[in-house]
Amino acid sequence: MNYLQAALIAIVEGVTEFLPVSSTGHMIITTSIMGIAHDDFTKLFTISIQLGAILSVVYLYRQRFIDGLKDLNFYFKIGLAFVPAAIFGKLLDDYIDALLENIITVACSLLIGGIILLFVDKWFTNNNKKEITYKNALVIGLFQLIAMIPGVSRSAATIIGGLSQQLTKEKAAEFSFFLAVPTMLAATGYKLYKFLKLHTITSNEISILALGNIIAFVVALIAIKSFIGYVSNHGFKVFGWYRIVLGIIILTLYFMNIPLTIV
């Protein structure tokens, strides 16, 4: 992976991490087009730069995280929601790694998830709840398990989980953002640990990781602000159609034996 490839992947991550379109799926597509999807460092990179995007949440909502130190229920609820992913993420790690190389899994997940998003606004029309209980947090955490399948979208799964608990779109999206912090911290740390067990990371690779995280952080700052405003006013349908179109394009290319790799 070179610096240009790293920058492009990081931009994709920053734009898509908080949209219900699957950042992992888009990075798999991007790295497949670049011809580097199967490289071990690429797999580390695509997980690690999600940390940069997630840190944008901490920055934007820093006052909420500071206030949470006075009322630890904020952190306890996030911790409870994180538990399912922590347990099953470890148990299914090798299986998930295998799926990360499967472009068809991504395409099918994009397509199915897109169809669901077309109806989400109709399913949850009267949501007005703004306070999250421990039960709500656990249910959202269970929804996050679905996002272990590449292409599903962690954001989409957890936001829908929140909507199923009668939370407003804004509150469901915000809790999805908060839950991303421990989830991606753990995923990045674990993936880096596994990589270092088998490889010696070079100074060039460290520089590439740093660049990727910085770019993902900056781009995600813009994406978060835009997403909250858009989804509150317009809903999720446009994201559903986008996922459906992209999924169909990928499946069409695959069954026509047209390779995604162009590099």
**Across residues 126-141, what is the average pLDDT?**
90
The two tokens of residue 222 are 């813009």
Indicate whether 4 pLDDT > 90. Answer: yes
Q: Per-residue confidence at 167, pLDDT binned at 50, 70, 90?
A: very high
71 in any annotated domain: yes
How far apart (Å, rounded) are the C-alpha atoms in residues 158 and 176?
Answer: 6
137 in any annotated domain: yes
- The DSSP annotation for 18-79 comes to TTTT-HHHHHHHHHHHHT-TT-HHHHHHHHHHHHHHHHHHHHHTHHHHHHTTTSTHHHHHHH
Count of structural domains within the chain: 1
- Return the number of other C-beta atoms located less than 10 Å from residue 127's C-beta: 18
**Across residues 120-130, what is the average pLDDT?**
84
65 in any annotated domain: yes
User: How high is the pLDDT of residue 97?
Assistant: 62
**Across residues 5-28, what is the average pLDDT?**
87
Assign 3-state DSSP to the chain and report helix, strand, coil percentages, each to 5: 80, 0, 20
Site of tokens 């039960």? 135
260 in any annotated domain: no
Cα dihedral 29→59→124→155 (10° resolution)? 20
Indicate whether 147 pLDDT > 70. Answer: yes
Q: Per-residue confidence at 95, pLDDT binned at 50, 70, 90?
A: low
What is the residue range of 233's domain? 3-255
Indicate whether 89 pLDDT > 80. Answer: no
Per residue in 184-231, pLDDT (tens digit) is 888 888 878 888 888 888 899 899 999 999 999 999 998 888 887 777
Site of tokens 């995600």? 220
CA quadruple 189, 193, 199, 200: dihedral sign: positive
**Across residues 158-172, what is the average pLDDT?**
91
Q: What is the mean pLDDT of the chain?
A: 86
125 in any annotated domain: yes
User: How high is the pLDDT of residue 263?
Assistant: 42
261 in any annotated domain: no
Q: Per-residue confidence at 163, pLDDT binned at 50, 70, 90?
A: very high
> Between 161 and 256, where is the model more confident?
161
**Across residues 103-108, what is the average pLDDT?**
84
pTM for this predicted structure:
0.82
The two tokens of residue 94 are 């090798």
Report the percentage of the chain scoring pLDDT > 90: 35
229 in any annotated domain: yes
Indicate whether 114 pLDDT > 80. Answer: yes
Per residue in 22-80, pLDDT (tens digit) is 887 788 888 888 888 778 888 889 888 888 988 898 999 999 899 989 889 999 999 99
Q: Per-residue confidence at 100, pLDDT binned at 50, 70, 90?
A: low
Indicate whether 262 pLDDT > 60. Answer: no
263 in any annotated domain: no
